[in-house]
Structure 1
Amino acid sequence: MRLTVDHTSTYTYETGVSYALQQVRKRPVSLPSQSILSWDLSIDGARLETSYTDHHGNLVDLVQVDPDASSVTVSVKGEVETHDMSGMMGGHRQLVPLWLYKRPTGLTAPAKGLRALAGKFGSNTAQDVGVLHEVMAEIATHVAYQTNETDSETTAEEALQKGQGVCQDHAHIFISVARLLGFPTRYVSGYLMMTDRIDQDAGHAWAEAWVDGLGWTGFDVSNGICPDARYIQVATGLDYRDAAPIRGMVYGAGAENLVVSIQVQQ
């Protein structure tokens, strides 16, 4: 399937920025599941300092905001040929070892509710891909998809207790439970072509667990499926903070407002 992406993020600031440095992870790489045909990044109100590949294998553009800038716009336009891998995304190509993806983070740290959820699947479940499908289905019954109930700093435990969340929360809960069951698991950010709309107001997120004999295997709790040819992977990490499209520090800007516009279509 050939997909096109048009993604614009515009930040406006109450006062002129005195200093801001941002990591931009908006450029995907070719994988067994996708071939990048074209991809262009443009920046207004800031300048590109350098580009590098981080330890998770993500392409990162380090951007410094212009002094006294009142707005910054980061846009990408691209075309990608995707391939349906039935959720199996291939081997481990990152520099970091697989065991790192068993490590809890601030957003995925297991607490009482997450441990109880993992306890439903018993022991000796590691490397049983079937149990991961069960985990995906179980999370969907406990946490309804609902916007404006959580934010980027909501933890997996908080979203589970609230019983509502978005794809980021579903991914974090899945990651926490799968790690408790012994699977190296990572967060994935990217895009999903929806069948009922072209315009979207946010990117998409899901999780991948490492299964011996299969490699990295994707699970999208929000849609109850493994990723297919409608998905484009952009960045991965231990949680959202490692794979966020834009993340950094801003000084002297006062209140900040973000407007996101995304179009994904065939």
Structure 2
Amino acid sequence: MKLRITHETGYKYETPARNLVQSLRLTPSVSEGQRTHEWSIDVTGGMRGPAFRDGAGDWIEGWTVRGPVEEIIVRIAGFVETRDTAGVLRGHREIINPLTYLRETEATEPDDALKALARDAQGSDGLDLAHNLSRSVREAIAYAPGVTEMQTTAAEALALGEGVCQDHAHALISISRIRGLPARYVSGYLHSTADGSSHDAAHAWAEIHVSGLGWVGFDAANGCCPDERYVRLGSGLDARDAAPIRGIRSGFGDERLNVAVNVEEMEQ
């Protein structure tokens, strides 16, 4: 599948920001499941700084904007060819030991309810267990936009019984780590949901490290493993760690955020 992706993230400031520094994880991963063409990143009024590939294999770019500015827009555009690898992340070079991803964060710290959910899942091997853990999260947390926030933890989403893809990923990561399976948060794009309806926002899922296979993706929100509809950007211990855009600014006042994403299938 050949996908054309455009993604704009706009920031408007109540009072002009004097200076901004951003770290962007917005370049698709290098793996057997996807190949990138004509990918561009632009920040209005920005200066591109150092760029590097981190230990997890993600491409990181630094940008700075000298103010005062009242608004900046981060624009991404390009084409990605994808193919179905049954969720297995093949050909992705990284040097971080998978055991690193057994470490909990505030977003994934388990409570008694998450521990009980983890214990209830069974599996004949690591892969079967991972599938059943993902199924358990899908059954326990219904998809409901607007119920949770960026700061909502896995425990809070499970208690609500509702959430979005971020909450499904955090809950799956949490219960996988309880069962001794390294797990991490993945940010990216999705062309369409499992029922074929269009998806007009950035997406997130979890990867679980399975002995003999390596990292395998699980999208509990849609009840599937990532296939050719998915484009992987980067990963981290949780949503904050894997955020596509991270930054700091000097100045005061509130900030308004606006995001527009379009993922369109192109003719082969």
The normalised TM-score by structure 1 is 0.93
Structure 2 counterpart SS, 1:224: coil
Q: Does 1:227 align with 2:197?
A: no
Q: Report the Cα offset of residue 64 of structure 1.
A: 1.8
Aligned match of 2:150:
152
Determine if the alignment matches structure 1 residue 32 to structure 2 residue 54: no
Superposed CA offset, 1:166-203 (max 9, x none): 101100000000111111111110000013236x1x30
Superposed CA RMSD: 1.6
Aligned-partner Cα distance in 2 for 1:205–1:92: 18
Structure 1 runs of 4+ with >6 Å offset:
none
Quick check: 71-80 or 51-60, which moved more?
51-60
Deviation of residue 242 (structure 1)?
A: 1.9
Secondary structure of 1:182's counterpart equals coil
Whole-Å separation in 1 of the counterparts to 2:60 and 2:70: 24
- 3-state SS of 2:240 partner: helix
2:176, 2:126 → 1: CA distance?
A: 11
Q: Which residue of 1 aligns with 2:63?
A: 63
Shift of 1:119: 1.6
> Which sections of structure 2, spanning at least 5 residues, go unmatched?
none
The residue that corresponds to 1:41 in the other structure is 41
Q: Which amino acid aligns with 1:205?
A: A
More deviation, 59-68/204-213: 59-68
Q: Distance in 2 between matches of 1:38 and 1:62?
A: 19
Q: Match of 1:197, as an amino acid?
A: S
Conserved? CA contact 2:31–2:91, under 8 Å: no
Q: 2:262 aligned with 1:263, yes or no?
A: yes
Instruction: Encode CA deviations 1:216-264: one digit per residue, 9 max, x unaligned.
Output: 1110011000111000000011111121111122231411111111110
Instruction: Tell which deviates more after alignment, 246-255 or 30-39.
Output: 246-255
Shift of 1:20: 2.4
Shift of 1:121: 2.5
Q: 1:142-181, aligned counterparts within 5 Å?
A: 142-181=140-179
* AA of the residue aligned to 1:167: C
Instruction: Report the CA distance shift for 1:245/1:88 in structure 2 as closer, same or farther (over 3 A).
Output: same
> How far is the alpha carbon of 1:59 from its aligned partner?
1.0
- Between the two proteins, the alignment pairs up a number of residues equal to 262
Corresponding letter in the other structure for 1:99: L
| Superposed CA offset, 1:22-52 (max 9, x none) | 2111111320111112201111033222212
Unmatched tracts of structure 1, length 5 or more: none
Q: 1:25 & 1:158 partners in 2: Cα distance?
A: 27
CA distance, structure 2, for counterparts of residue 56 and residue 219 of structure 1 = 18
State the match for 2:132 in structure 1: 134
Identical counterparts, % of pairs = 40
Give the distance between the partners of 2:133 and 2:91, measured in 1 at CA.
22
Cα distance in 1 between the residues matched to 2:45 and 2:165:
30
Identify the range of structure 1 (239-248 vs 254-263) with the bigger mean alpha-carbon deviation. 239-248
Equivalent position SS for 1:28: coil
Distance in 1 between residues matched to 2:171 and 2:224, nearest whole Å = 16
**8 A contact 2:176–2:183 mirrored in 1:** yes
Shift in CA distance, 91/29, structure 1 to aligned 2, threshold 3 Å: closer
